């Protein structure tokens, strides 16, 4: 039942509508359950009213009724993300939803799900009905849903079919201070939508005490946008330190010291990279067994931003004897909005950002200090305890940046441009960005571009999917696209188990390259799923494969196939393993990734990247990278990713021939390649034909006849 209906019901009302045939015991049991539900509702209502955000409810509702735009600032602990959307639902209910429903965006999918579940409990409704959520590959809502949580990119995709968002009366953009690409694009478009829909309400929720001047002025125009400050629970005591041993060792040492102190409360540790999170988790897991039992249990929990997984929930009896240590990266404070047991925060004061370099078409990883706003957020994560403390592993006089740098000015915006063109925006000047991206091109979207924008993958992969329709290899390329879009399916074990894991992965290795190996893995996974005697999770564990990633790839493959059917593109019959199918898959990959081709210049695995003259090696997890000594490496390869700043490696590599590259690369691209020996070889093939090139090749570097190996390989044995 809806929360607002509970108080109007009497005890007799709860038993109305029962079957006259039900027994007294059944009636009593049902009545007890409904009574427990009422008690739970009022318990949650009491907790809600104790949140700092409730002191501003009247001010917020008055402001919402008077104007189109509202900005609310306050930390996640104030309850802004769970309470304000419910008040907006009340606002829409007062107008009988004649202008639409409420949608609230989140950056991470898991936060959207967690908030929807919590709010459904607080409103005493079933998840998926009045309150729901929509995240990539999963939708849990109906046409009757009045409050929906979703990721910001999902709302952007919804705008492709409903540009004015006419389903919604209130749009709430949460975590606006994070300044992600999707959040900034959404704010830019919402400003234009609000001009065309005067009844629309737009609410920005931010954690920073004072939003940046650009963000404040964005929706203002000639008026002043109302800004409501929520009273924060108060930051914990900040303890600054700068030791010579490095923040990583200092953080782990502090965790153990806190546990030995026997003070109550969980710990949050803000590290920098995923590798540090996993390493810290492994170290603390080993250390916990050597700790005295009378101190209680130490439970390390790795929390990776943007990855699925819920925080462990401890019962009341366990909580007093178990100290959880949440290991995560900054900025990631909003993940802990519902945890009231955090007493200690350890903050490295650094974050890892990726800056896109369009010249070499890859990201560079940069470790930089967090902003002042992020530092304040970290300190409030453990603020519910009176004695809460934040250990800042940097000197107090460090000059922190005043604002978080917007992602849109340092990201690859190829997909963004495609989306904006799909929205029939003639040029980026018509989207009122808070910070404009560095782009001065304009032009109309072709029919090919319109179709490409339908696929929830990067533009190069969308072009590959369309090319596969032409080359009759859709079934195979859809698998490749799904496997590369989902998180990697390869698990990286501890050092002592790496040789065993490599042997397991080599069982799936395909002679033509890693793209084909991914097809082998997926097909083997599906065979195991269909075998009633096969335990899929154990099968993945034994072969060092990530079960969750393979499930996500399977769901992505279904979504991509459905998209192809919806836009009436042909889907070919599976023919994996035939000679022609192998050739066609490579042609489809080159159609999309012709800019990602490299050549082994010395026969020892030093690959020269054609577009920007960088030299890289094949990643050890590649089928080619595992070969030692490095014999039989392909001379020409197509690669999916160049991890330039991490290890300078080419990831997901497949063997191609120069003739295949020349056939598929656009003429303008080839002639604009920088001068090099590799380009001269390609030019020589164009001028004199492939036979001349073959005669000049030394016998030692001739390739094995891969076609013969592939022709009889239809499925993995």
pLDDT digits (tens, 9 = 90+) for 587-618: 999 999 999 999 999 888 899 999 888 899 99
- Residue 431 has a pLDDT of 61
Contact 468, 477 (CB under 8 A): yes
* Architecture category of domain 50-212 in CATH: 3-Layer(aba) Sandwich (3.40)
Q: Supply the pLDDT for residue 306.
A: 64
Residue 152 near residue 183 (C-beta atoms within 8 A):
yes
Catalogue the E-assigned strands of 37-166.
69-73, 101-106, 131-135, 138-140, 147-151
The two three-digit tokens of residue 634, written as one number? 């392909």
Is residue 263 a contact partner of residue 252, using CB atoms and an 8 Å limit?
A: no
Query: 391 by DSSP, 3-state: which?
Result: strand
3-class secondary structure, 336: helix
Using an 8 Å Cβ cutoff, are 551 and 525 in contact? Answer: no
Helix extents (H) in 199-304: 213-218, 247-261, 274-287
Query: What is the C-alpha to C-alpha distance for residues 151 and 170, in angstroms, rounded to an integer?
Result: 16
Domain 237-305+322-402 has CATH 3.40.50.300: yes
Q: What is the pLDDT of residues 175-201, one digit of tens each?
A: 888 888 899 989 988 988 898 899 999
pTM to 2 decimal places: 0.77
Other residues' Cβ atoms within 10 Å of the Cβ of residue 24:
7
637 pairs with which residues across the strands?
598, 655
pLDDT of residue 441: 45
CA distance 395 to 243: 9
pLDDT score of 130: 94
Strand, helix or coil at 584?
Answer: helix
3-state SS assignment for residue 40: helix
Extract the residue ranges of the chain whose pLDDT is less than 70.
1-33, 209-213, 215-216, 219-223, 233-236, 243-244, 306-320, 331-333, 338, 359-360, 381-387, 424-445, 626-631, 645, 689-717
pLDDT at 703: 37
Q: Do residues 603 and 633 touch, judged by C-beta distance below 8 A? A: yes
Q: What is the pLDDT of residue 75?
A: 82
pLDDT at 685: 87
pLDDT given at position 28: 59
- Tokens of residue 521, six digits: 């893995």
**Eight-class DSSP state of 674:** P
Residue 689's pLDDT is 64
* Strand-strand pairing, 607-609 and 362-369: unpaired
Rounded-to-integer distance, Cα 48 and Cα 646, Å:
45
What is the C-alpha separation between 482 and 465, in angstroms, rounded?
11
Q: What pLDDT, on a 0 to 100 scale, did the predictor assign at position 209?
A: 60
Does 414 sit behind a cis peptide bond, omega within 30 degrees of 0 on the bond before it?
no
Task: Judge if the upstream peptide bond of residue 331 is cis by omega within 30 degrees of 0.
Answer: yes
Neighbours of 559 (CB within 10 A): 18
- Say whether 237-305+322-402 and 50-212 share the same fold: yes
Count of Cβ atoms closer than 10 Å to residue 572 Cβ: 16
Tokens 């989306």 locate to 419
Can you read off the two tokens belonging to residue 183?
């959040």
- For 338-408, strand residue ranges (E) read 342-347, 350-357, 362-369, 389-392
Residue 405 gets which letter from DSSP? P
φ, ψ dihedrals at 618, nearest 5°? -75, 140
Q: Which of 518, 522, 520, 542 lies closest to 530, judged by CA?
A: 522
What is the DSSP-derived secondary structure letter of residue 231?
A: P
Measured in whole angstroms, the distance separating CA 12 from the mean position of its chain's CA atoms is 49
The dihedrals phi and psi of 205, each to the nearest 5 degrees, come to -110, 125
pLDDT tens string 21-80 = 455 555 556 666 677 778 888 888 998 998 999 999 999 999 999 989 999 998 878 889
* Residue 395 three-state SS: coil
Which residues, in sequence order, are bridge partners of residue 356? 363
Picking from 395, 383, 398, 434, the residue whose alpha carbon sits closest to that of residue 207 is 383
Residues found in the chain: 717
204, 130, 136: which is closest to 174 by C-alpha?
204
Q: How far is 593 from 610, CA to CA, in rounded Å?
A: 12
Q: For the CA atoms of 358, 361, 367, 373, what is the dihedral angle to 10 degrees?
A: 50
DSSP H helices, 328-383, are 372-380
Q: Which of 375, 421, 435 is nearest to 401 (CA)?
A: 375
Residue matched to tokens 């590259």: 661
Using an 8 Å Cβ cutoff, are 317 and 64 in contact? no
- Give me the residue spans of the domains in the chain: 50-212, 237-305+322-402, 455-585, 595-690
Q: Which pairs with CB-CB distance under 8 Å and at least 24 residues apart come from 255-259? A: 255/284, 255/298, 255/325, 255/346, 256/287, 256/291, 258/323, 258/344, 259/291, 259/295, 259/296, 259/298, 259/323
- Separation of alpha carbons 272 and 292, rounded Å: 30
Cβ atoms of 616 and 642 closer than 8 Å: yes
| Helix (H) / strand (E) containing 483 | helix 474-485
Token pair 């696929």 is at which residue? 455
pLDDT tens for 518-575 read 999 999 999 999 999 999 999 999 999 999 999 999 999 999 999 999 989 988 888 8
CA distance 587 to 605: 24
Of the candidates 270, 239, 264, 269, the residue with the CA atom closest to the CA atom of residue 343: 264
Helix axes of 547-566 and 474-485: crossing angle, nearest 10 degrees: 130
């Amino acid at each position: 039942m809806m929360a607002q209906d509970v108080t109007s019901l009497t005890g007799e009302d709860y038993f109305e509508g029962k079957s006259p045939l039900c027994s007294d015991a059944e009636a009593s049991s049902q009545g007890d359950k409904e009574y427990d539900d009422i008690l739970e509702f009022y318990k949650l209502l009491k907790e809600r009213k104790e949140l700092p955000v409730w002191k501003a409810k009247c001010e917020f509702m008055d402001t919402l009724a008077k104007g189109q735009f509202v900005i609310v600032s306050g930390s996640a602990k104030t309850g802004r993300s769970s309470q304000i959307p419910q008040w907006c639902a009340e606002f829409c209910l007062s107008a009988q939803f004649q202008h639409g429903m409420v949608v609230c965006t989140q950056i991470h999918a898991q936060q959207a799900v967690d908030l929807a579940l919590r709010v459904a409990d607080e409103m005493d409704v079933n998840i998926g009905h009045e309150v729901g959520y929509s995240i990539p590959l999963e939708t849990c809502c109906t046409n009757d849903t009045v409050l929906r949580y979703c990721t910001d990119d999902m709302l952007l995709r919804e705008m492709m079919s409903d540009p004015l968002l006419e389903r919604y009366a209130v749009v709430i953009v949460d975590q606006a201070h994070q300044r992600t690409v999707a959040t900034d694009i959404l704010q830019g478009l919402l400003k234009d939508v609000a001009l065309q829909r005067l009844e629309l309400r737009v609410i920005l929720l931010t954690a920073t005490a004072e939003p940046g001047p650009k963000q404040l002025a964005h929706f203002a125009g000639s008026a002043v946008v109302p800004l409501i400050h929520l009273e924060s629970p108060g930051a914990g005591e900040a303890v600054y330190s700068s030791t010579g041993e490095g923040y990583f060792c200092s953080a782990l040492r502090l965790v153990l010291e806190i546990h030995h102190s026997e003070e109550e409360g969980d710990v949050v540790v803000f590290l920098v990279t995923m590798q540090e999170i996993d390493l810290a988790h492994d170290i603390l897991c080993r250390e916990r067994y050597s700790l005295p039992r009378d101190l209680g249990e130490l439970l390390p929990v790795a929390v990776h931003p943007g990855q699925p997984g819920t925080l462990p929930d401890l019962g009341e009896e366990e909580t007093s004897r178990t100290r959880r240590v949440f290991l995560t990266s900054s900025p990631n404070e909003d993940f802990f909005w519902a945890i009231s047991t955090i007493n200690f925060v350890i903050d490295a004061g650094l974050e890892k950002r990726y800056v896109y370099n369009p010249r070499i078409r890859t990201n560079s990883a940069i470790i930089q200090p967090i902003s002042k706003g992020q530092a304040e957020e970290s300190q409030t994560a453990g603020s519910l305890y009176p004695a809460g403390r934040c250990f800042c592993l940097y000197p107090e006089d460090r000059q922190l940046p005043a604002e978080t740098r917007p992602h849109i000015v340092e990201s690859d915006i190829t997909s963004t441009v495609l989306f904006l063109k799909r929205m029939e925006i003639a040029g980026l000047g018509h989207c009122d960005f808070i910070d404009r991206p560095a782009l001065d091109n304009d032009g109309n979207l072709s029919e090919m571009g319109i179709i490409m924008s339908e696929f929830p993958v990067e533009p190069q992969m969308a072009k590959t999917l369309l090319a596969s329709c032409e080359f009759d290899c859709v079934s195979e390329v859809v698998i490749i696209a799904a496997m590369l879009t989902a998180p990697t399916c390869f698990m990286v074990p501890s050092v002592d188990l790496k040789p065993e894991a490599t042997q397991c992965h080599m069982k799936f290795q395909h002679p033509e390259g890693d793209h084909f190996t991914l097809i082998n893995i997926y097909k083997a996974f599906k065979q195991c799923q269909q075998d009633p005697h096969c335990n899929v999770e154990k099968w993945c564990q034994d072969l060092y494969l990530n079960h969750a990633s393979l499930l996500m790839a399977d769901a992505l493959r279904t979504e991509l196939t459905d998209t192809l059917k919806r836009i009436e593109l042909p889907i070919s019959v599976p023919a994996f393993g035939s000679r022609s199918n192998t050739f066609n898959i490579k042609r489809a990959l080159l159609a999309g990734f012709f800019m990602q081709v490299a050549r082994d210049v010395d026969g020892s695995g030093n690959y020269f990247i054609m577009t920007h003259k960088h030299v890289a090696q094949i990643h050890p997890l590649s089928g080619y990278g595992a070969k030692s000594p490095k014999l039989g490496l392909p001379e020409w390869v197509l690669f999916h990713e160049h991890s330039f700043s991490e290890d300078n490696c080419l990831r997901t590599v497949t063997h191609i021939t120069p003739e295949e590259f020349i056939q598929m690369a656009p003429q303008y691209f080839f002639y604009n390649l920088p001068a090099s020996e590799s380009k001269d070889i390609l030019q020589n093939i164009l001028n004199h034909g492939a036979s001349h090139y073959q005669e000049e090749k030394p016998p030692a570097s001739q390739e094995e006849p891969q076609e013969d190996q592939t022709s009889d390989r239809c499925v993995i044995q």
